[in-house]
Amino acid sequence: MPAEMEPLDVNLTARENYLEQFGIWCLTKSDMDNKKLTAYFLHSVGKEAYTLIKNLVYPETPIDISYNELEKKVLQLFKPINFVAAGRARFNMLTRSHSQSVRDFVLQLQTQAAKCDYGAQLKDQLRDRLIAGIQLPELQQKLLLCPDQKSQTIRKTCSKIWEMRILWTKPFQIFMPSQKEDESNEKVQLKQDIGILKGVGIVVGIIVGSGIFLSPVGILRITNSIGLSFVMWIVTGLFSTVGAIVYAELGVTIPRSGGEYIYILETFGPFLGFMALWITFFVIGTVSCAINSLVLANYVLKPFFPACDVPASAIQLVALIAVRTFLVHLRITCFFSNTVLHQLLSCCLGDEIVCGIHGWESPGFAAYSRIWEYLSRSRNYLNFLTGEMKNPARNLPIVIALSMSLVTVIYILANVAYLAVLSPYEILNSDAVAVAMANRCMGVMAWTMPVFVGASVFGSINGEVLSMSRLCFTGAEEGHMPTILSMVSVTNLTPIPSILAMVLLSIFFQFSPDLYVLIEYTGLAFTVVSGIAVCTLIHIKRNNPGLNKTKFKLPMFLPILYLIVNFGIGIFSIYNAPLNSLICLGLMAVGMPLYVIGIAWKTKPRVIESASYKFTITMQKIFNVVQQEPVADIMPVAQEEENDVRNRDVLIPTPTA
């Protein structure tokens, strides 16, 4: 109960005001049952009023009566003869004071209107009183100039002002238009506009990114064999495709944005779900974005330092600028994917005619895990965007199959092109393989290679930020991240806070002195999360096979085969780099105490809840964001009823008492 409410004074004539204030407070506690409301009311009215109520309901005891019945008995005792007329007069005189919030004014209107017996005209009366008493001249003028005064028009106009956004949320459905009216309005939620072409552009753009320009050096250095390096690329491409289709079945079985986090959360519970969120977002996603930004900076600066290494400080500065000035938009990612594929194909087809390939030498197995990291960890990024795909049951498997086939072919052709022009020694001593190849065979047009490399890597950064920000957004919706990260921009319909969180953490990892150490961190972390995610599919196929309502179903041996290979890669990564693996495991283990403090600890001190509430409100005002409106189930299933809408509480969280 609000601390500012005084006990009910039975000697005053303003008893209705007290009941109205308590009724307004009750509206903010829609999840509280009548018994608790009765207890709160009897506790707040004071000793004298409690004695009066006790005599009024005798021989029953007040605590055994529901709040609705108790309120009715109290009103019958206190109300005047002309109660309805007086209530309507008071309703028609209500105006919002300058110190009163719009939310409180709406609650006051709703409470007073319930006493006026307006019947079918209630919505019109509320609309008229809202326009007359809102005391916001700019909004009043816009509402009066509306071509019609229908409720959906009023709603659309008011929703453009941030202060009015909470007016149209779930608890105030008396102002909500009908479902038919609401379908014509734009909702504040992420849009489902990713089709097959955009999906392929996202996956290809993220996978190609920096991998094709960086990984050939590390792989050739470890294998010391051109032939074995190609074997590694082909075998890993095949196994990555198997992993991709396994993830495709996971995506159509649990058709929600969030990738491994959602799959593990819904199968194994909140603890493992949070650990998957921590590892995927904080260890894998942000580090991958930092890697791509550093590679982008290296390629952009390499033409200015042709005879020496690029200074590390300059690389970090350009990488920071690249991450800071990203443009998270699907068309940019798809455009950069198309440009880099065009350039890679040109290089491959042209350079293979110039020279031959030789040097199939001694074998080595260490490169397998390195390629696995590049091809495997990016092909699941579209699973983070399942909620924004058109018909994911059909499109997700198609997109993943096309993307992995295309990427594998392009990777092999690009490596053939590199080795057709450069010797293994030149590749091993170059930090920018594509630029070195362009200088050798493209003549005056060699300057175009850094441009296309930059476009590719920049597009990959966009795709990673796009995917990882949706993971952060989904985690916040589930209560595993701060509430502000679950909010969407009113104007752009994008999760601005989660995007900024992704960018800031990526900037932190840019200051690592060794790029390959970052790659090893993400490789082992992805192996752990990917293994648990595939276990969820095996668990679902054995215990709940009916959960997958689509025709896309894999035989059991494929996820088991992928899990075995994934486990072997993880063991080998630890054996090959024990110190880096230990550091990576330490980073992953940090999520355990965070889970205990942030999620398992339910009864936090009021000062922490209050600080969290104030922080959320402040960030909402700065970024102009709100929580998205309820989203319907995105998985269409033929010959079945539509799935229920996942109702979410879209109110700003209030600190618990």
Question: Looking only at Cα atoms, what is the longest distance across the chain?
Answer: 103
Which tokens sit at 338? 């198309």
Beta bridge partners of 627: 487
State the Cα–Cα distance between residues 516 and 655, nearest whole angstrom.
Answer: 45
State the Cα–Cα distance between residues 56 and 59, nearest whole angstrom.
Answer: 9
Amino acid in position 148: D
Which of 442, 416, 431 has its CA nearest to residue 358? 416
> Residue 67: CA atoms inside 13 Å, Cβ hemisphere, count?
16
State the Cα–Cα distance between residues 210 and 198, nearest whole angstrom.
Answer: 20
Please say whether the beta carbons of 403 and 210 come within 8 A. Answer: no
Query: pLDDT value at position 332?
Result: 44
Residue-by-residue DSSP string for 185-202: SPPSS----B-HHHHHHH
Query: pLDDT value at position 657?
Result: 34
The low-confidence residues of the chain, meaning pLDDT below 70, are: 1-20, 27-31, 73-92, 96-103, 114-115, 117-127, 129-193, 209-218, 302-303, 306-307, 309-382, 387, 431-432, 513-521, 629-657
How many C-beta atoms lie closer than 10 Å to residue 157's C-beta? Answer: 15
Please say whether the beta carbons of 22 and 50 come within 8 A. Answer: no
| Token pair 């005056």: residue | 444
* Collapsed DSSP state (helix, strand, coil) of residue 116: coil
Those residues with Cβ within 8 angstroms of residue 544's Cβ, 6 or more apart along the chain or in another chain: none
The answer to whether the peptide bond before residue 59 is cis (omega within 30 degrees of 0) is yes
Please say whether the beta carbons of 182 and 168 come within 8 A. Answer: no
Beta bridge partners of 625: 489
Which tokens sit at 34? 């009548």
Which of 32, 24, 25 has its CA nearest to residue 1? 25
* Collapsed DSSP state (helix, strand, coil) of residue 27: helix
Distances (CA, A) of 408 to 125, 210, 414, 455: 65, 15, 10, 20
Torsion, Cα 81 87 89 93, to 10 degrees, reads 150
State the Cα–Cα distance between residues 543 and 562, nearest whole angstrom.
Answer: 20
Distances (CA, A) of 416 to 63, 160, 222, 352, 364: 82, 55, 18, 7, 19
DSSP state of 431: S
* Collapsed DSSP state (helix, strand, coil) of residue 20: helix
Q: Could you tell me the sign of the dihedral formed by the alpha carbons of 64, 69, 71, 74, in that order?
A: negative
Those residues with Cβ within 8 angstroms of residue 578's Cβ, 6 or more apart along the chain or in another chain: none
Please say whether the beta carbons of 473 and 498 come within 8 A. Answer: yes
* Collapsed DSSP state (helix, strand, coil) of residue 7: coil
Q: Could you tell me the sign of the dihedral formed by the alpha carbons of 595, 601, 602, 603, in that order?
A: negative
Query: pLDDT value at position 348?
Result: 41
**Bridging pattern class, strands 487-489 and 625-627:** antiparallel
Which of 383, 376, 379, 381 has its CA nearest to residue 254? 383
Residue-by-residue DSSP string for 63-89: GGS-HHHHHHHHHHHH--TTHHHHHHH
Which tokens sit at 608? 């922490």
State the Cα–Cα distance between residues 202 and 380, nearest whole angstrom.
Answer: 11
CA 454-458-464 angle, to 5 degrees, is: 150
State the Cα–Cα distance between residues 375 and 407, nearest whole angstrom.
Answer: 8
As its CATH architecture, domain 197-326+347-394+420-591+607-627 has Up-down Bundle (1.20)
State the Cα–Cα distance between residues 169 and 492, nearest whole angstrom.
Answer: 19
State the Cα–Cα distance between residues 239 and 561, nearest whole angstrom.
Answer: 9
Those residues with Cβ within 8 angstroms of residue 349's Cβ, 6 or more apart along the chain or in another chain: 413
Please say whether the beta carbons of 473 and 485 come within 8 A. Answer: yes
